[in-house]
Amino acid sequence: MAKNRIVIIGGVATGPKTAARCRRLDQEAEITMVERGDLLSYAGCGMPFYIEGVVEFETLLKTSVGVTRDADYFENGMGIRVMDRTEAVKINRNSKTITVKDLKTGETADLPYDKLVLATGAGPFVPRMEGVDLEGVHRLYNPHQAKAIRDALDMGAKKVAIVGGGLIGMEICGAFLERGCEVTILEMMPRLVPALMDEEMALLLESYLKKNGVQVVTGSPVSRIVDDGSGKVAGVETADGRRFEAELVIVAIGVRPNVGLAVEAGLEIGPTRAIAVNEHLQTSDPDIYAGGDCVECTHLVTGEKVYAPMGSTANKHGRIIANNINGMETDFPGVTTSAVFKILDYNCGCTGITERRAKELGYEVETSLCPQRDYSFFMPGAGMFVAKLVAEKASGKILGCQVMGTGDGVKRIDVVATALKYGGSVKDLADLDLAYAPPFSQAIDAIAHAANVVRNKMDGLAHGVSPIEIKGRLESDDDFLFVDCRGRAAFEAETITDRRTVNISMEELLERLDGEPRDREIILFCNTSITAYRAERILKARGYKDIKFLDGSLRAWPYPLKAPF
């Protein structure tokens, strides 16, 4: 019986995972992995930590037991032929071969295949911009680029400009801050991480970064990178004419799928401009599979096609492709576009879709903005974070979640991602039998609290107003009473200062408001909205009709607070 010839183009994530799984399933197959670079199966997501100095370069290239994942590792340990520093230049579908070029010698050859796997990944998007090729301008997509950045820091570079405030920009920002750099982040959209976070959550992140010395510039694209006159970078300039000094510029605008081979071979490209695949990760040619950062996925919440490059997804793809090549029919259902990142001691994450995206898709939504501790308040070290939960108003079906803060919100992102996978509702989320002990969570977990706030709103018991809406109304002439219902000492320390702000504690509430018309709009706030919600219920029971509270109150207020006097 002829041996199955499997050729894999790409040797970073999906490729090595496919190769290793194929070998485990078929000891006789001829497996060849073609990689144009000189590094194999490296931990790309660890590069910011290498730049920071937490790990060393070699660690990114090794297994958990310290063995370097090089050609010898695959060839001698697994019987997988590796052709590194070799570029696949053409797919010949009629003859079922690929043409490869040895980048060391320039020689070309044709490799036959029975099954072909495209794991070509993605590349950094580099804009057509003056100065983008200056010395001191870097991208971050492979360990060699990470090493060049770290070398620049080791040689004394301190002023860093990051062009792009998305996921890559955020991940690298933390590394520079830990190295003591002066950091400027420039994002052309009106807010940071625009694809991942709603405005109030992005503003919380921006506020935190500013408190830690980061200069955040949003709403104006970078127009050029400035030359110091000798071919080295001196800074960046925005479209509105502002200039920011920098010794080091990181272009982190995002990545684009590497689809050139697929396009030339006539394979179908999807609406996201990544390779279209079916649930088995087959392309439009059933003998050609594709996975990782070069393909598009199905969003489990919306059903739409999305481009969501993630190392975790790439590794799942590798296993599924290998299963299907070897007759073990396996589906890849899709993604919830979960993403997490850390900056200093701030933990950030999201899953599903934002409120903004949900409304664009026509959903009528209900949300909660819920500040909570990650575990019991009486335990040392408990941290706060804000969770924003987005649900369909009529059904309570969960649509997405975002977290931001020093507490462990990432654990809750994983819980919501699981609920999204199975189409769960806010009731399902609140009913989950999550493990409880004081060092790990509250008796009612933080994410269950967020779900219960949404349920209270759906049941007409709670009426919240977002910080964004309140900010707009405070800047207008709207007539409403804005009540800080905390004690006097807390109010005098700091509050949301405005001519409409009054301090009426819970104990004074009914007496102080007795003369107010029952139909006057009153908006309450406290530290976390727990007291404000209780006040709303008391006032509603006494006949006050237009009572609301500030969602998340002061813990989720992304704007400056001041003493009232």
Residues annotated as catalytic are: 45
CA geometry: angle 129, 130, 134, nearest 5 deg: 110
- Per-residue DSSP letter, 347: E
Distance CA 453, CA 151 (A): 49
* CB-based burial label for 562 (10 Å; 0-12, 13-18, 19+): exposed
Reported in sequence order, the residue ranges of 228-354 that DSSP labels E, i.e. its strands, are: 233-238, 243-245, 248-251, 255-257, 288-290, 297-298, 305-306, 339-343, 346-352
- Cα separations (Å) of 195 from 169, 191, 417? 13, 10, 17
Type of residue at 224: R
Q: How far apart are CA 386 and CA 368, in angstroms?
A: 10
Are the CB atoms for 439 and 408 separated by under 8 Å?
no
d(CA 477, CA 439): 47
- Burial letters for 231-241: b for 16+ Cβ neighbours within 10 Å, e otherwise? eebbbbbbeee
Cβ(10)–Cβ(19) under 8 Å? no
Angle at 192 between CA 390 and CA 303, to 5 degrees: 40
Which stretch of DSSP H or E encloses residue 465? strand 464-465
What's the half-sphere exposure (Cβ side, CA atoms, 13 Å) at 54? Answer: 11
Strands 86-92 and 81-84: unpaired
Instruction: Specify the long-range contacts of residues 128-133, CB closer than 8 Å, at least 24 apart.
Output: 129/222, 129/223, 129/224, 129/225, 130/223, 130/224, 130/225, 131/224, 131/225, 131/226, 131/227, 131/233, 132/225, 132/251
CB 6 within 8 A of CB 322: no
